[in-house]
Structure 1
Amino acid sequence: MIGAIADDFTGATDVAVALHRHGLRTLLYFGTPPADLALPAHDALVIALKTRTIPKDEAVTQSLAALDWVRSRGSCQIYFKYCSTFDSTPEGNIGPVLDALADAVDVPMVAMTPSSPEHGRTQYLGYLFAGDVPLAESPMREHPLTPMTDSYLPRVLDAQSAHRSGVVPLPVVRRGPAAIADRLEALRAQGVRYALVDAVMDDDLAAAGQALHRMRLVAGAAGLAAGLARAHEAAKIHAAVEDEQARNGDPVPATAGHTPPPLPTGRAAVLAGSCSARTLEQVAAMIKAGRPAYRLDALAAQDAEVLAREALAWYDTQWPEHGAPLVYSSLPPDELRDVQRRLGRERSAELLESALGHVAKGLAERDVTRLIAAGGETSGAIVRALGLPGGLIGPEAARGVPWILTPSLSLLLKSGNFGEPDLLLVESQ
């Protein structure tokens, strides 16, 4: 039914749980699986890639490979999942990947929105807001990899693509799915390829989902994916009711849902690499609560294995006297800029992500069965270091932050901006 391609790992878990929450049987894989992989019954496939900040040609190649895989498994609607803060640079990678996907699927228009009201991300008249302020006035302006200095999304996207962008404004959205469809057709007739749909409430996303649920390619954050899932599930239930009535003359209850597995237990550790304002709050909350904490210092050693070995040696002194220790590389903006100035932005990021991956592998060897990761790039590095192919969507620790259940480990992959300040304060057993 739906094949979702996410540009980072935490985004993949976010969209997977949005689809799962609204009744779709959802499978999540880290990277494009092998062609001969046997799949259980499902309504949605989610492929987690790590393409947000890699060279755009590589991002396109990986995204097209994922597209081929989900289409080969019967996905008739493709969903390109990007961050609700539209994380990108003037070069991409949102625009180049969208261009490639739209060409491959052969569609004249792609409708989208990064709006995710439950996370404080809303789009109004084409401008993206983070909480009560325009995106460019939020902490995203200081993002170490994708600083967002323009809040007007058509302008941001036009800089990344050879195609034109337009807006479906909120007054049109509030008139319902038919009005949205009419506006999309008018934009298409004007030569617009990418239509950014305003949404400031979940009801706006529900209306958009109804208008877009038959489009072959849609893009956005998890909020719109939830709107699509609601529309698909409603159509599925309606078809089942009609079928039952045709056979028996009696309606059947229009119910759907899942019984989630219980929260995982076991030895836990927290790995934080995000430098977002919310992750910094969460790290501070752990330290204030007295949790053991160790900071990876990129300036002390420019060798990922050395940094990891020292962190694991520290960890070995913390257990079992203390619970759920924290290993982190998160830094406030001033300190982060100093590290980047001295080592280079890409080199410092690569060094610390690799070190956290090595730490994760060492923790798994030490019988840690629950790993909590803060940050999309961090999560990707950890999953790859562990060699995990994918997992089942489990219960949510916070809205849009589900546990991923694998045979050997339970993972909580948290986007840098997600969760309350106390989210990382998990119990050790």
Structure 2
Amino acid sequence: MKVSVIADDFTGANDIGIQLKKYGLKVITKTYDSKISIKSDVEIISTESRNIDKKKAYERVKKSFMELKNSEKFFKKIDSTLRGNIKEELKAIQENINKQEKILVIVGFPNTNRKIINGKHYIKDIPLHLTEFKNDPYFPIKTNDLLEYFEGEIIKINDIRSNRQEKLKEKIKSIKSQIIIFDTENNNDLDIIAKTIIELKLDKYIVGSSGIMEYLMKYWGYKRPQIAIISGSCNAKNIEQIKVLESNNNIEVIDVDFTKKNIDIEKKKYKNDILIRSIKNIRDYNKAKENYKVVEITDIFTDISKKIIEENNIKNLIISGGEISINILKKMSIDYLEVIKEIEPGIAYLKYKEYNIITKPGGFGSEKFYKKAYEFMKSFR
């Protein structure tokens, strides 16, 4: 599915671009006058039209929109504080689509304290036109009423939070205006809006801040690339270091229990990032050696790790333990790695084709190494 975006400034283009990149997509940002053509999953055009003459803004957006019009999904990124030539830029889109097609306006961005309640814009519960943005040198904000910016009808919070999704769908379908404006107070509202408009197939033309994008991607079926942390070192320092990830709700822990003579790991698709661990503590390690030779522990653990990685198509790996690292890579037929940078002394970030890999000797790394490495890997999605 081809997704295209027009943003009115370069930082806004890159803001939404980095969100889309988190899903493993190839994202290209270019200027409105660029002649370059690069194959990508997402194309973003920055029109640099926020602070220019209204007529020029209209022309730039029209030109860019005609270039992207055939995309399956189109998103017009606007400033979450309603600065810029919003009316003119929306007009450039409206005039070039079928009058029966809806344009949905979803401005709210709860993560940055931007809320829309009864069609009015608030920042930290203060009306937009009473915040610092009233003194903007280019576009001093004079009202927080979205109907002053968009000629449409409002879907209010009470409609969005109806106990029955069908009721919300009926409300949306009953609106005659081409433009539908949505209230948004929290992220759950965004989730409901995205799910509903996609089910109604009204998600082709969306205007808004980047707050809604995460939820559109969710219901469009995109998943963020997973991360696997493979802790195979029996070093006491490593065993303590890895505990920092145990309480992370976004990580599923898979303990390979070598204290048992029969090891059975459930075959499943994991929704979250995963931690595959061979040893929970030194006591378990000593018990494991009663059941298996060290070479057997290595072989079984790397077989299990490889299987989980491949079944879940995971490309971002953090591996601890020298023997574990080389054995996993060999079993995955990875016969070379490009050295990119040092994460911490003696700990490398490496690349192999589409794989991002960090390898760590067991006793190396700071107390918070795994947290640091995990955050680093998250930057690739």
Q: Indicate if the aligned counterparts of 1:6 and 1:48 stay in contact, CA closer than 8 A.
A: yes
Q: Deviations over 1:59-106 (max 9, x none)?
A: 1211122122223xx521111110111114xxxx21122122122122
Does residue 134 (structure 1) correspond to residue 127 (structure 2)? The answer is yes
Equivalent-residue separation in structure 1 for 2:28 and 2:167 (angstroms): 33
Which position in structure 1 is the counterpart of 2:244? none
* CA shift in 2, pair 1:236/1:110, >3 Å: farther
Q: After TM superposition, list the pairs within 5 Å mapping 1:180-191 onto structure 2.
A: 180-188=168-176
* CA shift in 2, pair 1:110/1:235, >3 Å: farther
Equivalent-residue separation in structure 1 for 2:112 and 2:315 (angstroms): 23
Which position in structure 2 is the counterpart of 1:31? 32
Equivalent-residue separation in structure 2 for 1:233 and 1:199 (angstroms): 22
* CA shift in 2, pair 1:204/1:251, >3 Å: same
May I ask how many residue pairs the two structures share in their alignment?
Answer: 240
Which position in structure 2 is the counterpart of 1:111? 104
Does residue 225 (structure 1) correspond to residue 219 (structure 2)? The answer is no
Q: Indicate if the aligned counterparts of 2:23 and 2:222 stay in contact, CA closer than 8 A.
A: no
* CA shift in 2, pair 1:97/1:9, >3 Å: same
Question: In the TM superposition, what is the alpha-carbon distance from 1:3 to its structure 2 partner?
Answer: 0.6
Which position in structure 2 is the counterpart of 1:56? 54
- Residue 17 of structure 1 aligns to a residue whose secondary structure is helix
List alignment gaps of at least 5 residues for structure 1: 159-163, 238-249, 266-394, 404-429
Question: In the TM superposition, what is the alpha-carbon distance from 1:233 to its structure 2 partner?
Answer: 2.6
Question: In the TM superposition, what is the alpha-carbon distance from 1:5 to its structure 2 partner?
Answer: 0.4
Does residue 200 (structure 1) correspond to residue 222 (structure 2)? The answer is no
Which of 99, 103, 107 does residue 91 from structure 2 map onto? 99
Q: Deviations over 1:127-184 (max 9, x none)?
A: 1111121101111111111111211111x215xxxxx321100111123754443222
Which of 152, 158, 179 does residue 171 from structure 1 map onto? 158
Q: Deviations over 1:192-222 (max 9, x none)?
A: 2221101111121122122234432110000
Question: In the TM superposition, what is the alpha-carbon distance from 1:258 to its structure 2 partner?
Answer: 7.7
Highest RCO, 1 vs 2 (Cα 8 Å, sep ≥ 6): 1
TM-score (normalizing by structure 2): 0.55
Q: Indicate if the aligned counterparts of 1:105 and 1:216 stay in contact, CA closer than 8 A.
A: no
Q: After TM superposition, list the pairs within 5 Å mapping 1:13-412 onto structure 2.
A: 13-22=14-23, 24-34=25-35, 37-39=37-39, 41-42=40-41, 44-71=42-69, 75-88=71-84, 93-108=85-100, 109-154=102-147, 156-158=148-150, 164-175=151-162, 178-188=166-176, 192-213=177-198, 214=201, 215-234=203-222
- Whichever structure has more helix as a proportion of its residues is 1
Equivalent-residue separation in structure 2 for 1:396 and 1:172 (angstroms): 38
Equivalent-residue separation in structure 1 for 2:16 and 2:55 (angstroms): 24
* CA shift in 2, pair 1:178/1:38, >3 Å: same
Q: Indicate if the aligned counterparts of 1:23 and 1:258 stay in contact, CA closer than 8 A.
A: no
Equivalent-residue separation in structure 2 for 1:263 and 1:28 (angstroms): 26
Equivalent-residue separation in structure 2 for 1:263 and 1:132 (angstroms): 44
Equivalent-residue separation in structure 1 for 2:179 and 2:126 (angstroms): 24
**Amino acid aligned to 1:58:** K
- Residue 84 of structure 1 aligns to a residue whose secondary structure is coil
Q: What CA RMSD, in Å, does the superposition of the two structures yield over aligned residues?
A: 3.6
* CA shift in 2, pair 1:136/1:106, >3 Å: same
Q: Indicate if the aligned counterparts of 1:60 and 1:100 stay in contact, CA closer than 8 A.
A: yes
* CA shift in 2, pair 1:19/1:10, >3 Å: same
**Amino acid aligned to 2:48:** K
**Amino acid aligned to 2:38:** A
Which position in structure 2 is the counterpart of 1:379? none
Equivalent-residue separation in structure 2 for 1:134 and 1:256 (angstroms): 47
Q: Indicate if the aligned counterparts of 1:28 and 1:47 stay in contact, CA closer than 8 A.
A: yes
**Amino acid aligned to 2:49:** T
List alignment gaps of at least 5 residues for structure 2: 226-266, 272-311, 318-339, 344-373
**Amino acid aligned to 1:173:** I
- Residue 233 of structure 1 aligns to a residue whose secondary structure is coil
Equivalent-residue separation in structure 1 for 2:375 and 2:134 (angstroms): 29
**Amino acid aligned to 2:152:** S
* CA shift in 2, pair 1:32/1:182, >3 Å: farther
- Residue 19 of structure 1 aligns to a residue whose secondary structure is helix
* CA shift in 2, pair 1:24/1:172, >3 Å: farther
Which position in structure 2 is the counterpart of 1:348? none
- Residue 51 of structure 1 aligns to a residue whose secondary structure is coil
* CA shift in 2, pair 1:135/1:198, >3 Å: same
Identity fraction in percent: 18
Question: In the TM superposition, what is the alpha-carbon distance from 1:263 to its structure 2 partner?
Answer: 10
Q: Deviations over 1:35-68 (max 9, x none)?
A: x6131x42x2211121112122211211122122
Equivalent-residue separation in structure 2 for 1:146 and 1:65 (angstroms): 24
Which position in structure 2 is the counterpart of 1:6? 7
Equivalent-residue separation in structure 2 for 1:117 and 1:4 (angstroms): 21
**Amino acid aligned to 2:8:** D
